[in-house]
Structure 1
Amino acid sequence: MAAEMIAATRDVADAELAEAWNGLFASAAVGLFVVDAAGRILHISKRLCEYSGLTAEQFIGTDGMHLLHPDERLSYRAAFIALTEGTKDSWTAERRILNKDGEFQWVLFSTAKMPGMRANGGPAFVTQVTSIGKQKRAEKAAADVLQRWTFALENAGQGMWDYDVENDVWEFSAAWKRMRAFDEDATVEFITSHGFGFIHPDDRDMATDLFAKQKSGEVDEIAYEYRYRRQDGNWIWIMVRGCCLERREDGTPLHIMGTDTDITELKKSQETYHELSERLQLALDTSRIGIWETDPATLETIWDERTCEIFGCSPADFEHSSLAWPSMLHPDDREHAMAIAGAGVTTRSNYNCQYRIIRPDGEIRHLRSYATFSQLAGGGWKMLGANWDITTDVERAEALDRAKILAEQRNVEIETARAAMEHASLHDALTGLANRRYLDRLLDSLSNERGCDNVTILHVDLDRFKQINDTRGHAAGDALLVHMAGMLSAIVGPRNTVARIGGDEFVVILSPSPGPERLHGMINEIIQRSNVPIYWRGQECRTSTSIGVAIADGRTSARQLLINADLALYRAKNLGRNQATHFDARMHSEIVAQKQCGDDIIKGLAQGDFFAFYQPQFCSRTLDIIGVEALARWRHPVEGILTPDRFLSVAQDLNAMHEIDRAILEKVLKDLKRWDEAGIAVPEVSVNVSANRLADEGLIDTLARNDWARNRISIELLESIFLDDSDPVYDKHIGKLRELGVDIAIDDFGTGHASIIGLLKLSPYRLKIDRRLIAPIADSPSQRGLIKSIIDIGKSQGIQVCAEGVETRQHLEILRELECECLQGFYFGQPMAAGDLPRYVAREDWRRDS
């Protein structure tokens, strides 16, 4: 009927037209259907019926809209109306239609008006339907690949560079700088000033030549590799890719941009990657399809080149070509594969199967075969098939199974890691104790609206811990902290909490509070066991412990209780350390004053308020000035000029003594230069130096920059600091000081614990006898004997001896008798400002009194 309607306006016989259309629709490799101007289907191909699972009768007379995806029906109608109205001659669009399995699949509709043909009084339209499902899947796969590559490029850490050719301006990303070990704040000028100098000499000409070609416009893109010496001295391999983004009218570049990739590890494992690359290439090659043909009657077989490649041989290698395929089947798959193929040959029905083969070289491959049968014109049959090497797919599936197992294992590991991270966020990494975050939570949990009750807090601090860190190294300090953590935990027991909240600070939360006797026992045990030295790599590390104790009264929050314990600790350290102090209300105002002093010291250092007073030193025989000692003073904004007894202990707690020493030395060098310019002869200035300042490289640098003061500066070190300790940093710096012409003197000799062996090892040029030993010599023969012994020791070793605290003429006469070479004290004059020294030297009042 459809053919009759279409043919009604043609000059071709209806029978001939019907036969032509029926032949066309029966043999069409794609779906075809014809509609009239109302969109009703007049004729539909067999292939399209098979695809949809409906008969032609079910289509004829309908618009077929029930097969279209609901989202696309409206657009289809609009496009078809445009065709019927003549707005368009043809129309092509991608649409989704239902297949026989009830699934929507992508197809391509190509609809055109059939010239000269009429149907039902109007024009007829033919539509070709082509399946594009594979194309859509390929597009999706490509989009997925593009997305993965985009993510990889954004997160690969590649160094980006940008070159403005016209203005000769470079820009480098942070990753580019890190790759070359430049500081992230390194300037472009600094980087480009080195140019190609860091490129390996063997690669430099190649790199400069390629860049010059790109800069000139000779090449549009560059890609090359070279070796580069980083700022830390290490060599790396870098891959450069660059392209021109903008050109001038003459074609020369205006703007070049590129990426640098660190391929050092890639280069190191190049052989491994090369092997993997070959395997990958093999996998890619074997993904191609092999075609074969078999005569079902004789089983004569022909393989194309790809099939021969898959099997690793040719049918010609066998006695009969029919033996090639069966003989290569894997023994475990042979029966199943032969049964499927045999059934297909017997029934002449298409089949596909999956199996393994063993190639002549022993390699086992996984294949999928598809076979179809077609009858030849002479009545015979031909069997045509295709082989896919799916070894990679099978291996990938197996790998996915393994990956699933690994992922499940990884989930367990992640959960374990999460728990570990939570633990780590609440505990100190070094000691394993609770950290400040844990402590804050615990303090909050111990408080209620009124405060906390039945809680005692101990704030524990290691004395002289910084000195151990500075002299023995941080590893020794860490060992001491771990030892201390274990000791505290053992003493207070598992029911109480020990936390490390700072470098050498620990907090112990005792809840419930122990009784007075138990608390006293804990504190004494902590102090006593802290005094026991530990040994690290054969070296003794000796420290002690200061403890602040605060006991809850029911009215104070746990956080305030910790502050109270901190104040008590501050008092314990000021009272001489190695002891415990309980918080009381009176303590607060005193501690606040000391903390204010600390703040003032820091401000005074920043404002240059620390300077030197000078006390002359005299030859005991001639009473000539042989030097002066610089004594620290602080010009306090409120209290005026302060002596060290007013600020020394606070400065030591602040670890600010080395900064005060630095400020005093700088003032001494300026004063000494002014005296020289004024013609005032001051042979030498003695400067007191703390242990931290002695370990400071800045001391060496300052004296090295002021070589004009060579042999005119001496350093006074306290006997109690280190004389019997062997420390490589101190030893090295003392050696450097001597090379710079700086004399070493021991201050307050006789009050420390140094041995003669330690004295001989240091070999100072001067010993200064403490004023407390000098004061009683007028009335004590035994004291005079002690001083005589010190003087004799100095003479025997070629060490000058200087007596401090000479306050009377009797002191002067006795010390002359004892042949003490150097004298210093109030008898000759009080310490004075630098501006007063010239008048004092000029008047020589000390000679009249002596």
Structure 2
Amino acid sequence: MAGLGDPYVLVHAVRNIHGTIIDFVVDEANPAACAFHRMPQGQFIGGSLLNPMPAAISGALGDLCAEVLEQGVPCHRDGFRAASPHGDRPDRWYDFHAAPVGDRASVIWRDVTGEHLALQALQDSEQRYRLLAENASDVVLMVDSADRYVWASPSLEEALGWKHDDLLNRISAEFVHPDDLPGVLAARTNQNEGVRRHRPFRVRRSDGTYRWVSTITRDLHDAAGQTTGRVISLRDVHEETVARQSLEKSEELFRAVLTSSTTGMILCDLTGRIQVVNEALCTMLLSDEAWLLARRTDELVHPDDRATVIQARALTIATAARAPFRELRLVRADGAIIWARRTASVIRTSAGAPERLVVQLEDVTAEHESREELLFQAHNDRLTGMHNRDWILRVLEQDLEDSRNSGLAVGVLFIDLDNFKLVNDSLGHVAGDEVLAVIADRIASAMLPHDRVGRFGGDEFVVVVPNASEPADVERVAVNITAALSTELSIHGHRIIPTVSMGIALSTDSSTAASLLRDTDSALFRAKKSGRARWQFFDDTMHSQAMERLTIEDEIRISLRKGDFVVYYQPIVALLDRSTVGYEALVRWQHPGRGLLAPAEFLPIAEESRLILGIDRYVLDQVCAVLASDPNGATTISVNVSAVDLAHESWAETFRSALRTHGVDPSRLIVEVTETAVLSLRPSTTGSLDAVRDLGVGLHVDDFGTGFSSISLLRDLPVTGLKLDASFVGGLGDGNRGADALAAGLAGLVAHLGLTGVAEGVETETQARTLLSQGWLHGQGYLFGRPAPWPGQAGRAQ
């Protein structure tokens, strides 16, 4: 369209939610249209057609485009007088012509000021008219009442190659293409006298070729009102007409392909808004056309696949490449999920800009299910539904490779059903298969989310535990399996209490799948030799460590019942005057055989075994009792809360109950939670913390700066304070500029957010002075006091 002389645009309608057209958006525009508005092509395309138009014609132009789209036939409006769009020229006259192009409309407007003035001049003086016509860019012709040419403007020769004298006294009809002549004559006959516009038709040039032209015809009358001839204004519209016809043929061909295709097809805009669908797609999705046309393509896709579709669409538009075949899930109208193979390609404007997308969707559900079934058979055991030997070996090799990068070990349990031969021999193989299926289900139920389990063959199963940091991680799986198998099962009227023997091994840097399985097989042999119904570690040292861990768990349970835990309190002081403003409650274990144990010696095991719930409940009760003993005091006490506590559904109610039981003012209690604990459980923890904060309890982020996304915690949680981690404090005052800068920056953050800030681990006067100068108001550490029992309480809990 770039070569058109008249302004030309291709537009689509914008409708409101009721379907009423409210505007038209420009999809294509030639340079003449952009020059008319004095707008760059990139700014004009994609904007409103009507807004930049002079007010005198924007309303009529909107009605014209709407009529074209609603009726599907060309329409025109002539003789609009309007001011220049920029107010820098006298009023002009314009004719507008619009035609449907698929579901859009093409609009051409002509400046007919010359013709208009010429007609006015003719009414005054034919000589004046001739002077105007000779200076008009369009070809102006005059015919008499017999339709013979009597005059032609000089532009005739440039436009059609004819000289003025070549046309004189020749009938105008002989220059019209034979195929177009009937329509031209009919239009001339059927239209009223006055001004007439003809649809484009072809006229013959002097070299015998034909050009598409449009004409405006005005009747001439004598003083008595009789028609004496006609004035014809002729304009070359060959390029735009050919281009429009080509576009119409292309769209007609596309619609024919769309209609006849057995593959689901969609024509959509660049945002995925569906514009056209074919019958095959409606059938595939059990949906009607109207429902589909009200949606975007990604709304037809399963939620888990939508992001992939949106990304593929953007890539197709950006690269202009045909999108490769991709399988995805579609959701039918009845809710069923089907698999489809998708591909997409871009439709571009004549200027090369992306305009629309053609998406093809082929139902490959049967093919996909067949392929999945083959994959399942290749990697799964038919009897139990578990993964098979090949799958386990492949996964184990991959986990071993990953472990070399992570530094963690891979644990393997080789499981053998005790006395299974007796079941087969006494009850038969059918009963034996039923036993195996039940055992497989029970073993699978004992797995943690990241564990992998498979049937290795016969009555043997293998469990792979990735990312095992210590033997206890694997032994806990053995405990779970043993518990899952502990209840009897009934097979063909016989009651059986199944037991298994297990060999356990952890990988080393040199382990392979074969060597690790060999180690577990050796351990399994020793387990069976030791009496069956047990597990055996391949490495005795690892076994000792795991047993020690289990021993500590048992001892913690016993100590909780006996009250062997004590609460120590470490003061928190105001750095300015060293006055005590609060305490942090810290638990100690008065071990019956090992003496007083620090938290690091038992809390990690307590957290992993969830015994921390009982310990923290005990500490909270002790702290509330201390606060209740001085109901009018202003001292606050902080208690630590673990990730296990936060994840427990009744934690907030436990907190509320302790406050109510002891009658403690909630504002005197502060919850300290590490950012690591919160991040490991969000968003589930937010509700619990909000509930406790609503009671009036303070919330401090402990060890601040050591986890991830610390700043986001201050934004997302109801935080009232934070504690600067001791690792920051330890570097202060010894020339560590990085530590100084970080601590000072965090002090500014605390002050700006209106939070309480406490610096932990303060051990020297230099550190205390530096912190105070940076803006930290509170400190905690050995410089101000070590953890100790509450004054007046015995060292051992009562």
TM-score range, shorter chain: 0.3 to 0.5
TM-score by structure 2 length? 0.37
